[in-house]
Amino acid sequence: MPQLEHIGIAIEEVEAVIECFNDLLGIRPYKTESVAEQQVRTHFLDAKSGKLEFLESLDEDSAVQRFLDRRGEGLHHLAFEVDDADATMERLRAAEFTLLSESPRPGADDKRIFFVHPKETHGVLVEFCESTPADWSPHYVSRGDRPLATYERGDESAPPLVLLHGTAGTTCRDLGTLMRHLESQFHLVGIDLSGHGASSLPPGGTLTMNHFVEDVRTAIKAYDLSSVHLFGFSLGSAVALQCAHAAPDCVKRLALMSPHDLWSDSYVSAMKDQLDTYTLPSGQSERFHAHHEHADRLLSALQDLVDALPAQNDHLKETLSDITTPTLVVGLDEDPLIPVDTLLRVHETLPNARLSILPGTQHDLARGPISHLSALLKEYFSEGPA
């Protein structure tokens, strides 16, 4: 079902409108972006239950300027998010609505968009938009012996939140959609952990948990962050735990999604099956190689890393019981790799933890309940000291 994504408002006096809404609501734009094709500059505000999009014309012949000339400042359109813009267009054409373009066009905020003519929607211009994968270029920071790929979103003055993907994941593939949902409230830094995505493998091609912890330390130092919130998914949650254990003063709050408390033989076996290119469907194998610059070497290194995990069980249990940092444990009710009883044990072992179970059936953050998760994280990380 389409959801209200934002309300578009055409404006002329940009600074005056921004100051007015700051006085009115106590919020300012978290993102400004120009769309050359439409000759418009957009200013996005997060109003919690929905976004406001201020539309500033960049050309006297633009559609927004024509609107301003006719009607002046005010409500321009309502935008609804859909999963498939092409399918929605076909459905509306079949219902004999007049559409203002032949196909979806690139829009602001990583969207594909199209509009329905307002003469058929009682004078209201209606936009439909579909989120697309963010096309981000990594910012490389020095890891000493090699470059580390990081990705930044959001206002630098906002609370800093570092995000960590899971085994064989990447920031853009696994965390991109979640970061888009969170960027209005946080200064986000996503890290491609060593060997993953655009980050290089360590010399010798081996991977350890210490490598990943040092990745986080490197990124925090490179972005000049004194203390941060940490979110980690699966393997990323273990890395986040180790970071909080090693430097508790640097971590304000933790959120662990699909964390482990025991690297069991059955879990290790399941993980190794997922990392075996001989058992991966061809399409999945191709996508894996497309997302990682060192794909084959990474798979080999991860196989060895997973083999070594059971030897760390005692250390993991000790780490969990020692961490007093406020922690949110998040899991899915039908995760095939991390059952609910595992989440309960992690929650019970951590001295200062809360638990939230979300609906979901796949151990795959990119295909998880992002809207539920983002709302949960916004509320949790925006709380004051525990």
Would you give the end-to-end CA distance of the chain in angstroms? 37
Domain limit, last residue, from 131, 161, 188: 131
pLDDT tens-digit readout, 329-365? 999 999 998 999 999 999 999 999 999 999 999 999 9
Please check whether residues 161 and 202 belong to one and the same domain.
yes
| pTM (whole model) above 0.85 | no
The tokens describing 68, both together, are 């301003």
Please check whether residues 149 and 46 belong to one and the same domain.
no
What is the tally of structural domains in the chain? 2
The tokens describing 273, both together, are 């099956």
Please check whether residues 125 and 154 belong to one and the same domain.
no
Please check whether residues 110 and 259 belong to one and the same domain.
no
Q: Is 246 domain-assigned?
A: yes
Q: Is 386 domain-assigned?
A: no
pLDDT at position 353 is 96
pLDDT at position 262 is 76
Q: Specify the CATH number for the domain of residue 124.
A: 3.10.180.10
- Domain region containing 240: 139-381
Q: Taking the CA atoms of 383, 238, 322 and 213 in sequence, report the sign of the dihedral they define.
A: negative
Q: Which residues of the chain have pLDDT under 50?
A: 278
Please check whether residues 367 and 300 belong to one and the same domain.
yes
* Measured CA distances, 29 to 19, 158, 251 (Å): 10, 12, 27
pLDDT at position 239 is 95
Please check whether residues 86 and 235 belong to one and the same domain.
no
Q: Is 18 domain-assigned?
A: yes
pLDDT tens-digit readout, 175-228? 998 998 899 899 999 999 999 999 999 988 899 999 999 999 999 999 999 999
Please check whether residues 103 and 162 belong to one and the same domain.
no
Type of residue found at 144: G
Pinpoint the alpha helices (H) of the chain: 14-25, 63-71, 85-94, 176-182, 209-222, 235-246, 265-274, 282-291, 295-308, 313-322, 340-349, 370-381
Q: Is 327 domain-assigned?
A: yes
pLDDT at position 283 is 59
Domain limit, last residue, from 113, 131, 149: 131
pLDDT at position 386 is 59
Domain limit, last residue, from 85, 100, 131: 131
Contact, 272 vs 351, CB < 8 A? no
Give the Cα separation of 247 and 385 in Å (integer). 17
Please check whether residues 242 and 368 belong to one and the same domain.
yes
